[in-house]
A and B are shown apart, each in its own frame.
Chain A
Amino acid sequence: MRTEILAVAVKELRQTRRDPRTLAVLVIAPIIQLVLLGFAVNLDVTHVPVVVADADQTAESRAFTRELLAGDAFDPVAATPAAPDAMAQVVAGDAAIALVVPRGFAADLKAGRPTTVQALADGSDAQRAVVAQNAMGAFALRWGLQHSPLTALAQAQAPVGRTVVQPRVLYNPTLDSRIYFVPGVAATLLLVVTLVVTAMGLAREKESGTLEQVLVTPMSSWAVVIGKVLPYGLIGLLDLALAVALGSAIFDVPIRGFLPLVGLGGSLYLLNTLGLGLFVASAARTQQQAFMGAFFVILPMTLLSGFMSPISNMPAWLQPLTLLDPMRHMVEIMRGVLLKAATFEDLSRQYGILAGMGTALFSGAALALKRRLS
């Protein structure tokens, strides 16, 4: 069995080495894409135009808006006392957020009553809206803690309150979206590289007839399958290491946790992506079909992973479905380990799901392929 697996793996590597296109897909494209996507996708919240509707017009309300708008994040574009006017400006596109400070803001604050400041965000750019709202929420909480006469009580409740605010803000205080984005890009690249190469490689062998010559040897189908995916799995792990290194070197993605945990996640994730590649390969007769099939797997997986738009923004019925997306768990593992120094226990659910689904996908695909081939 070992001889056969080795023979297949060596053959795959030799073919890869002799084919500049596959080599480009495997190694060069990931680097270029990581860098390009990293620079191109800028989800940073800076200079968001804000229209302020201060109905309270007190010293406190003015201080609140002034401090909120002081930094780089928000730019005041207009001020109006009437909330409907402010909303009209958002609708017209002159401002992205309407900040509405209600009448009685100062009085509530002094009395220690809860008070509400509304931030109406233009949801057409959902990503920016969410990040901006989170930033405002964080600011409001901080401000409330500083200015409330009931500071002592508020601080006692603080741990509860802080967990309500998105961890993103806590672990990425400058809201640098690249740090958040690089793990997602890495997971996507791993998916594309391994899925496409596995699916296309087998389809090419079907087309050229070499698969028949392989199948007439007494080698078991398992040896064929394992020998075929092993090199691409290893190259995938190499790509992952490269992505983490580049992310850290170019985009200052921190490495706060234990790196081998990312490697473990990557290995389990690859079990999933290679399994999916085999599924596509068993269904496709031609390279073109394989490419289309790969595309139809990659697209929903990327969208459902929550790496581009937060899962919490998705319709409620869709959200449980994202649990079936291996990429979601890989992204969570990478973000967890790199940004939050998460431990194995913290991520045991993600590891468990990846391992379970990976085993099922891979063996299911290998069996489907075996049946298909014989």
Chain B
Amino acid sequence: MTHAITVTGLTRRFGDFTAVDDVSFHVEAGEIFGYLGANGAGKSTTIRMLCGLLQPSAGQATVAGCDIAHDPRGVKRAIGYMSQKFSLYLDLTPQQNLEFFAGAQGLSGKARKRAVAEALDRAGLTDRADATTGALPGGVRQRLALASARLHAPKILFLDEPTAGVAPDARREFWREIRAVAAQGTTVFVTTHHLDEAEFCARVGLMVDGKLVALDTPDGLKAAHVPGRFLGVQGAPQALLRQAPGVVAVEPFGLRWRVRLAADSPLVAPEALAWWLAERGAGDARVEAGQPTLEDVFLALVDPA
């Protein structure tokens, strides 16, 4: 399989500060690639370099076969970009915004008309095409921005925190769309703060202070960085759980306790822990198998203590 994006030693400095530090990875064609990291980790800076908006200080990258430093125009032709900050014209209507960006992509006449109508339909705005964009709710705006980024059917989509500040059900809706886009063969490079969203990604890269510290499938990351097992326990005191052999951590999780056990703990099976608790007077406790999350991976990597 060819690589949609190849990044080698990519670095960007702002003065003395290194925002992106010697990052290397590749993205396969047609996959959803998640780019995770805390505020200021360097996610947007990476994307802006890959979109030809910012020159790297060092390193190279090719996007859709075009070198970002030498052929930014070729890169721009192949990509769609949705920036972190909503950046369509708030004072224009959705229709006018789409007409402008279609024209900017070189579409004219019938092709433009068709692309605009299709985009309005995708954003669910066909009957609100003449509203003022600034007056639309956040979730709708994001869908409009995504539709606008897709006007010219780009091979690669860069989405920089597309669901920041979007309500949960609108977020689910949005991700349904992202997966549909990817299913049609478009490569999606997406950054997010929401670790639950990263579960939808084929592979996830994790940025900490400008460095790419981990890159794998979500399951691979969990296996590699959060060894041990998780159990959900209801109806037992935290202090008692802490005394169980092999328990690493006990955290509240809804109405339950989320118990993390070392992989070699004798109590990794839910029945074993339930038995152990019953022996100590907590026979009512309900124990279920649990899953590690990317949150655990993230915490393990950022704060390995």
Q: Do A and B bind each other?
A: yes
Which residues of the other chain, A, contact B77 by a CB distance below 8 angstroms? 218
Say if the beta carbon of A14 comes within 8 Å of chain B: yes
Interface size on A, as a range, is: 20 to 34
Say if the beta carbon of A209 comes within 8 Å of chain B: yes
A-facing residues in B67-84 (Cβ within 8 Å): 72-73, 76-77, 79, 81, 83
Say if the beta carbon of A10 comes within 8 Å of chain B: yes
Minimum CB–CB distance for B44 against chain A, Å: 11
Question: Which of B55, B73, B91, B104 sits near A7, CB closer than 8 Å?
Answer: B104
Known contacts A213-B88, A218-B77; A4/B103 CB under 8 A = yes
Minimum CB–CB distance for A74 against chain B, Å: 58
Minimum CB–CB distance for A328 against chain B, Å: 37
CA distance A7 to B55 in the complex (A): 27
Residue from the set A208, A213, A219 with the largest chain B CB neighbour count within 10 Å: A213
Residue from the set A15, A215, A217, A374 with the largest chain B CB neighbour count within 10 Å: A217
The residue in chain B whose Cβ has the minimal distance to the Cβ of A211 is B87
CA distance A243 to B83 in the complex (A): 44
Known contacts A212-B53, A215-B53, A217-B104; A14/B76 CB under 8 A = no
Which residues of the other chain, B, contact A19 by a CB distance below 8 angstroms? 91
The residue in chain A whose Cβ has the minimal distance to the Cβ of B74 is A218
Say if the beta carbon of B85 comes within 8 Å of chain A: yes
Q: Is the interface of B mostly helix, strand, loop or mixed?
A: loop
Q: Is the interface of A mostly helix, strand, loop or mixed?
A: helix
Count of B interface residues, CB-CB < 8 Å: 31
Cβ–Cβ contact A3 & B53, under 8 A: no
A-facing residues in B237-270 (Cβ within 8 Å): none
Which residues of the other chain, A, contact B21 by a CB distance below 8 angstroms? none
CA distance A14 to B99 in the complex (A): 11
Which residues of the other chain, A, contact B90 by a CB distance below 8 angstroms? 208
Cβ–Cβ contact B92 & A216, under 8 A: no
Q: Which of B105-113, B180-188, B222-230, B281-289 contacts A (4 or more CB under 8 A)?
A: B105-113
Residue from the set B89, B96, B105 with the largest chain A CB neighbour count within 10 Å: B89
Question: Which of B55, B83, B107 sits near A209, CB closer than 8 Å?
Answer: B83
Which residues of the other chain, B, contact A218 by a CB distance below 8 angstroms? 73, 76-77, 105-106
Which residues of the other chain, A, contact B105 by a CB distance below 8 angstroms? 217-219
Which residues of the other chain, A, contact B85 by a CB distance below 8 angstroms? 209
CA distance A19 to B81 in the complex (A): 27
CA distance A218 to B51 in the complex (A): 11
Question: Which of B52, B83, B91, B108 sits near A15, CB closer than 8 Å?
Answer: B91
Say if the beta carbon of A11 comes within 8 Å of chain B: yes
Say if the beta carbon of A372 comes within 8 Å of chain B: no
Which residues of the other chain, A, contact B92 by a CB distance below 8 angstroms? 11, 14-15, 18
Minimum CB–CB distance for A302 against chain B, Å: 31
List chain A positions with a Cβ less than 8 A from chain B.
3-4, 6-8, 10-11, 14-15, 18-19, 208-210, 212-220, 374
